Structure 1
Amino acid sequence: MSAQSPVLTARFWRNRRSAAIAGIVFGVLLLASLTMTRIALSEGNLQSFEADAQRRTLIRLSLHLVPFAGIAFLWFIGVIRDQLGSVEDRLFSTVFLGSGLLFLAMLFVGAVTTTSMMEMLAEGNVNPDVYAFGRSSTQTLISVYAMRMAAVFTLSVSTVGLRTAAVPRWVAVLGYLVALVLLLAAGEHRWTQLLFPAWVLLVSVVILVTRPPIRAGNTG
């Protein structure tokens, strides 16, 4: 029997629809949350933010979406990892799981910090130095660290998808481009952060509407 790279076939993906739906929910919710946050923070000294209740309400609404996006993302990770099964590459599986969980943890920490800042603003008389520190640390956590972990997650998923033929080649190649942009530009150009949930959404839709190839000798 000749050695060959493992191929992810249809029998490994009985629950791939679950992963697709979870990924779609995550992508839509996080896209909505990040977009609302970016719009609300587009203008911004402390005084104008304190005076504008609508912008604070928009951020609160975006924060309410984050836990549900996180639950969907965790489900997405779990189903994908379960379905990889015996064709799982331990190296990329570790990177895939670790980067995904780190991204999720940092996303939640950033949401908690932002929620605390919103409570401070609602009460009034905010110390400008405290506000500046909270905003700067939250932006750094999300824009620099969380998005770098998102880039690593995208790289690992693209590589596994390419090796196992779980997704079309163009989707994996696009994932490499998205990861490169997140690694290099997410900290300075914050709208590029939308690329990550958009890519997960794309991958999920592709998984939902296509079937993995079934090849001779791999149907078990």
Structure 2
Amino acid sequence: MSTPPQHTEPATTPRQLSTPRAAALAGVIFAALFGTTLILIRTEMPEGLQDSTRWLNSQHSAITTATVLMPFAGISFLWFIAVVRDGFGRYEDRFFLSVFLGSGLLFVAMMFVATAVAAGLVASNTGVTDPAAHAEVINFGKMVVLSATKTYALRMAAVFMISLATIWLKTGLMPRWLAGLSYLLALALLIVSETSMWVTLAFPAWVLVVSSLILARSGLIEQLRSHGD
């Protein structure tokens, strides 16, 4: 008696994941969201300690909007980091890659801390029983937000730009003028980020330029990577 033929499932071979070109749009989204967040925080939050309670009462909607936008900006920046690293291919250097990833993650972490403190200030503005103590809490929280953003987060952003510009300069994956511009903007963030609000907007503008170039040069980058492989 003959046995019926058995149908076997065709063997499937794993397929290598490839980064879609549209992922570079994450940098564009980050630039828009982070730029808006910076403007809301820096224009609506006074630098000094004067009228802190009145500031929180009158500008709580703008601060709330910034705290809602920042998580999505951080997620977009993580995608941007992944897209940029994917473009390295075999040209990765462990030293500069470690600085690149570390500074990028620290930047996101510090911005999350700053917006979390701002959200806490807004949430604590109801049911106040001791106005004097509450004013001190607002002053402290406001200084934490400003210090975390312009003193620490943006300086980590400058280190991120320097490490990435150095990788580009050594590998030739991006034009030399972009590496030079990255060094200049990073130096400006390191030196004058605490004195001028508008200088801080250089970072989201830089990310926008980089993302646009990645989208425009994606074919050339793929050729360089395949040649390196």
TM-score > 0.5, shorter chain as reference: yes
Normalised to the residue count of structure 2, the TM-score between the two structures is 0.81
Q: CA offset at residue 50 of structure 1?
A: 4.2
2:51 maps to which residue? 45
2:193 maps to which residue? 186
CA contact 1:30–1:66 (8 Å) conserved in 2: yes
1:97 maps to which residue? 101
1:218 maps to which residue? 227
CA contact 1:16–1:83 (8 Å) conserved in 2: no
**Distance change >3 Å, CA 66–CA 209, structure 1 → 2:** same
Q: CA offset at residue 42 of structure 1?
A: 4.7
Q: CA offset at residue 16 of structure 1?
A: 6.5
Compute the RMSD of aligned alpha carbons: 2.2
CA contact 1:113–1:134 (8 Å) conserved in 2: yes
**Distance change >3 Å, CA 16–CA 112, structure 1 → 2:** same
- 1:157 corresponds to 2:158: no
- What are the ranges of 5 or more consecutive residues in structure 1 without an aligned counterpart? 1-13
Q: CA offset at residue 18 of structure 1?
A: 3.9
Give the AA of the match of 1:111: T
Measured in 2, the distance between the counterparts of 1:219 and 1:50 equals 55
**Distance change >3 Å, CA 90–CA 48, structure 1 → 2:** same
Give the AA of the match of 2:84: I
Measured in 2, the distance between the counterparts of 1:183 and 1:72 equals 23
Measured in 1, the distance between the counterparts of 2:108 and 2:175 equals 26
Larger radius of gyration: 2
Measured in 1, the distance between the counterparts of 2:200 and 2:67 equals 16
State the percentage of identical aligned residues: 40
Which structure 2 residues correspond to residues 1-220 of structure 1 after superposition, within 5 A? 15=19, 17-42=21-46, 45-52=51-58, 55-124=59-128, 125=131, 127-210=134-217, 211-212=219-220, 214=223, 218=227
Bigger RCO of structures 1 and 2 (CA < 8 A, at least 6 apart): 1
Measured in 2, the distance between the counterparts of 1:118 and 1:38 equals 16
CA contact 1:18–1:79 (8 Å) conserved in 2: no
